[in-house]
Structure 1
Amino acid sequence: MAPSYNIRPENTLRRAEDLIAVDQKEAALQTLYDFITSKRIRSVAPLDLEPIALLFVELGVDLRSGKLVKDGLHQYKKNVQSNDSGLESVETVVKKFLEKAEAKLNDAQLKANDVAATLEAEAAQLEADDEDEDDENRQIVVSPEDVLMSSVSTDDTKDRSDRELVVPWLKFLWEAYRTVLDILRNNSKLEVGYAAVVSQAFGFCVKYNRKTEFKRLCEMLRTHLQTVTQKSAVKHQIENPIDLSDPDTLQRYLETRFNQLNVSVRLELWQESFRTVEDVHTLMTISKRQPKPSMMVNYYDNLAKIFNVSDNRLFHAAARQKFFSLFVQSPIATDEELKHYASMQLLSVLSVPVASSSKVDDFAKRKDNRLSMLLNLSKVPTRESLLTQVASRNVLSIVDPALAKLYELMEKDLHPISFASQAKDIFAFIESNKEFHMYIKPLTSVILDKLFEQMSEVYETVKLDFLVKLSTFEGQFKLSPIEIESRLLAAASNNLLSVKIDHEAKVVSFKTDTLENSLLSSIPLNVSSKIQYTPTEIIRTQLSSLANTLRESVMLIDPLASENEKTLKQKVSMRANAEFAEERQEVLDRALLLENRMKEVAEIKRRDEEAATKARYEKLAAVKKAEQERIEQETAKRLEEKRRKELEAIQKAEKKKLLNEINAKGIIKVDMDDIENLDGRKLQKMQIEKLEQDRKALEERIEATAKRFDYLERAQRRYELPMLQEDAEAQKGREMEVYEEMKQKLIANAKKEHEEALKIKHRLTRLIPDYEAFVGQKEQALWEEYEKKAAEAKEKLEAAKKQRIAEFIAKKKAEFEEQQKSLAQAEERLQKEAAEWEAKMSNLKYADKLKLKRAGQWPPVPPAHLQKYIKKEIK
Structure 2
Amino acid sequence: MRANYHQSQKPEAALQRAHEFISVGKQRDALQNLYDLIKGRRQKQWSQIHEQIMLKYVELCVSLRNSTVAKDGLYQYKMLTQQVAVKSLETVFSALLTLAEKKTLEAQKSSIEKMEEIDDLDVADTPENLLLSVVSGAVPQDRMDRTVLSPWLRFQWDTYRNCLDLLRNNVYVEQIYHNFARQSFAFCLRYKRRNEFRKLSDMLRLHLTQVQKAQQAQTIPAHAVKLTNIDSLTLMLETRLCQLDTAINMELWQEAYKTAEDLHNLMQIGKDKKIAKPSSYANYYDKIALVFWKGGNTLFHAASLLQKFNIHKDMKKQFTGEEATDQATKVLLATLSIPDGAERPSILTKHLDIEEQHIANTRILSALLRMPIIPTRDGILKEIARLNIPEIAAPEVFKLYKSIEFNFDPLHIAVNVQEMLLEVEQLGEKLGYCEYGQYSNSIKKTVAAKIVKQISSIYESITLERLSEIIPFYDRMHLEQFLVDICKQNLVSAHIDHCRNCIYFGHVDSLLASELESENGNISEISKIKTHVSSFYSILQDAHLDIDQSLVKELQEKLARQIKIYLSHKDGDFERILGRRKRIELYKENTELMKKEKLFQSQMLANKQEEKRRTEEYKKLMEENKENEQHRKLAEQVEIQRKVAADRLKKLKSQPLYEMLVKELGEEAVEKMDLQQFTREKLKILDKERKEQQNKLLQQEKKFDYYVRAIHLEEMLVLKELSDERQTSAPALFDQYETRRIDEV
Structure 2 length as normaliser, TM-score? Answer: 0.64
Q: 1:597 to 1:416 in 2, by over 3 A?
A: same
Residues 349-371 of structure 1 deviation map (CA, whole Å, 9 limit, x = unaligned): 11111125546711001000000
The answer to whether the 8 A contact 1:39-1:79 is kept is no
Q: How does 1:645-660 map to 2 (within 5 A)?
A: none
Q: Would the alpha carbon gap of residues 528 and 274 (structure 1) be closer, same or farther in structure 2, given more than 3 Å must change?
A: farther
Question: What is the aligned partner in structure 2 of residue 37 from structure 1?
Answer: 39
Amino acid at match of 1:388: K
- State the alpha-carbon separation in 1 of the partners of residues 15 and 262 from structure 2: 46
| Amino acid corresponding to residue 344 of structure 1 in structure 2 | K
Q: How does 1:8-19 map to 2 (within 5 A)?
A: 8-19=10-21
Q: 1:173 aligns with which of 150, 156, 165?
A: 156
Larger radius of gyration: 1
Instruction: Note the 1:341-380 alignment, pairs <5 A.
Output: 341-356=327-342, 358=345, 361-380=355-374
- Residues 336 and 443 in structure 2, CA contact (< 8 A), matched pair in contact too: yes
Counterparts of 2:290 and 2:254 in 1: how far apart (Å)? 12
Inter-partner Cα distance in structure 1 for 2:42 and 2:703: 42
- Percent of counterpart pairs with the same letter? 31
Partner Cα separation in structure 2 for residue 369 and residue 162 of structure 1: 53
Q: What is the CA-CA distance between 1:593 and the residue it aligns to?
A: 2.8
d(CA) in 1 for partners of 2:10, 2:243: 44
Classify the secondary structure of the residue corresponding to 1:40. Answer: coil
Q: For 1:534, give the aligned amino acid.
A: K
Shift of 1:328: 4.1
2:147 aligns to what SS in structure 1?
A: helix
Query: For residues 251 and 145 of structure 2, what CA distance do their matches in structure 1 show?
Result: 24
Find the counterpart in structure 1 of residue 237 from structure 2. Answer: 254
How far apart are 1:234 and its partner, in Å? 2.7
Quick check: 1:337 aligned with 2:332? no
Determine if the alignment matches structure 1 residue 25 to structure 2 residue 27: yes
* CA spacing shift, 1:368–1:156, aligned 2, 3 Å: farther
2:363, 2:374 within 8 Å by CA — same for their partners in 1?
A: yes
> 1: distance between equivalents of 2:139 and 2:324?
47
**Which residue of structure 2 aligns with residue 533 of structure 1?**
529
Match of 2:222 in 1: 239
> Shift in Å at residue 259 of structure 1?
0.8
- The AA in structure 1 aligned to 2:495 is K
Tell me the secondary structure at the aligned position of residue 43 of structure 2. helix
Equivalent position of 1:106 in the other structure? 105
Amino acid at match of 1:68: V
What CA distance in whole angstroms lies between the structure 2 residues aligned with 1:36 and 1:286? Answer: 40
CA offsets 1:185-210 (integer angstroms, 9 cap, x no match): 11111101111111111111111111
CA deviation after TM superposition for structure 1 residue 377, in Å: 0.3
**Cross-structure match for 2:596:** 593
Check conservation: 1:37, 1:75, Cα contact below 8 A.
yes
Alignment partner of 1:321 is 2:317: no
1:490 corresponds to 2:474: no
Which of 172, 175, 180 is the equivalent residue of 1:189?
A: 172
Contact 1:58–1:97 (Cα < 8 Å) also in 2: yes
Q: Does 1:416 align with 2:419?
A: no
2:192 maps to 209
Q: Letter of the aligned partner of 2:596 in structure 1?
A: L
| CA distances 1:386-443 after superposition (whole Å, capped 9, x unpaired) | 1111211111122222211111111110312221332242121244444233322222
The corresponding residue for 1:502 is 497
1:400 aligns with 2:394: yes
Q: 1:5 to 1:214 in 2, by over 3 A?
A: closer
CA separation of 1:460/1:51 partners in 2, compared to 1, >3 Å: closer, same or farther? Answer: same
Cα contact 1:33–1:72 (8 A) shared by 2: yes
Pick closer, same or farther for the CA change 1:513–1:73 going to 2, 3 Å: closer
How far is 1:284 from its partner? 0.6
Alignment of 1:266-277 (within 5 A): 266-277=249-260
The residue number in structure 2 matching 1:479 is 474
Deviations 1:728-769 (A, max 9, x none): xxxxxxxxxxxxxxxxxxxxxxxxxxxxxxxxxxxxxxxxxx
Letter in structure 2 aligned against 1:444: K
Cα deviation for residue 151 of structure 1 reads 7.6
Counterpart of 1:592 in structure 2: which amino acid? K
Q: What is the CA-CA distance between 1:307 and the residue it aligns to?
A: 1.0
Residue equivalent to 1:637: none
Partner of 2:123: none
Deviation of residue 149 (structure 1)? Answer: 7.9
Cα offset, 1:539, TM superposition: 3.8
Which residue number corresponds to residue 448 of structure 1? 448
1:427 aligns with 2:427: no
Correspondence for 2:75: 74
Shift of the alpha carbon at 1:161?
A: 7.5
Cα distance in 1, alignment partners of residues 525 and 151 from structure 2: 64
* SS, match of residue 479 in structure 1: coil
Query: Secondary structure of 2:217's match?
Result: helix
For 2:525 and 2:160, the matched residues in 1 are separated by: 59
State how far apart, in whole Å, the 2-side matches of 1:271 and 1:524 are: 41
Distance 2:390 2:275 in 1: 30
Cα–Cα, structure 1 residues 6 and 463, in superposed 2: closer, same or farther, change >3 Å?
same
How far did 1:49 drift? Answer: 2.3
Partner SS for 1:423? helix
The letter for the 1-side match of 2:283 is N
SS at match of 1:500: strand
Cα distance in structure 2, aligned partners of 1:209 and 1:173:
14
Give matches, 1:653-692, under 5 Å: none
What is the one-letter code of the residue matched to 1:210?
R
Letter of the 1:90 counterpart: L
CA drift at 1:216: 1.0
Q: Equivalents in 2 of 1:338, 1:598: separation in Å?
A: 56
Q: Give the distance between the partners of 1:467 and 1:282, measured in 2 at CA.
A: 49
Q: 2:74 aligns to what SS in structure 1? A: helix
Q: Which runs of 5+ in 2 are unaligned?
A: 115-131, 429-433, 539-585, 607-700, 715-745
Distance in 2, matches of 1:598 and 1:450, equals 42
Following superposition, the deviation at residue 379 of structure 1 comes to 0.4
Residues 265 and 596 of structure 1, relative CA distance in 2, 3 Å threshold: same
* Paired position in structure 2 for 1:59: 60
Distance 1:538 1:469, change over 3 A: closer
1:505 Cα offset (Å): 1.5
Change beyond 3 A, Cα 1:514–1:706: same
- Matched residues in 2 for 1:155 and 1:262: separation? 41
Cα distance in 2 for partners of 1:706, 1:67 equals: 65
Aligned partner of 1:31: which letter?
N
Paired with 2:310 and 2:712, the residues of 1 have a C-alpha distance of 105
Q: 1:70 Cα shift?
A: 1.2
- Cα distance, 1:454 vs structure 2: 0.7
Matches within 5 A, 1:100-139: 100-112=99-111
Partner of 1:97: 96
Give the 3 Å change call, closer, same or farther, for CA 594–497 of structure 1 in structure 2.
farther
Q: Which position in structure 1 is the counterpart of 2:684?
A: none
In the TM superposition, residue 217 of structure 1 has moved relative to its aligned partner by 0.9
- Deviation of 1:47 after TM superposition, in Å, equals 3.3
Asked if structure 2 preserves the Cα contact closer than 8 Å seen for 1:46 and 1:85, the reply is no
Distance 1:343 1:62, change over 3 A: same
For the Cα contact (< 8 Å) 2:289–2:302, is it kept in 1? yes
What's the offset of the Cα at 1:86?
A: 5.0
Distance in 1 between the 2:366 and 2:451 partners?
Answer: 30
Work out the CA distance in 2 between the residues paired with 1:5 and 1:511: 92
- 1:655 is matched with none
Asked if structure 1 preserves the Cα contact closer than 8 Å seen for 2:7 and 2:40, the reply is: no
Describe the superposition over 1:318-368 as per-residue Cα deviations: whole angstroms up to 9, x where unpaired. Answer: 112112222345559883333233222111111111125546711001000
Structure 1 residue 709, shift from structure 2 partner: 9.4
Three-state SS of the structure 2 residue aligned to 1:530 is helix
Alpha-carbon distance in structure 2 between the residues aligned to 1:505 and 1:447: 26
Q: TM-score, normalised by structure 1?
A: 0.55
Contact 2:31 2:60 in 1 (8 A): yes
Post-superposition shift, 1:490? 2.4
CA distance in 1, matches of 2:507, 2:499: 22
Q: Measure how far apart 1:541 and its partner are.
A: 14
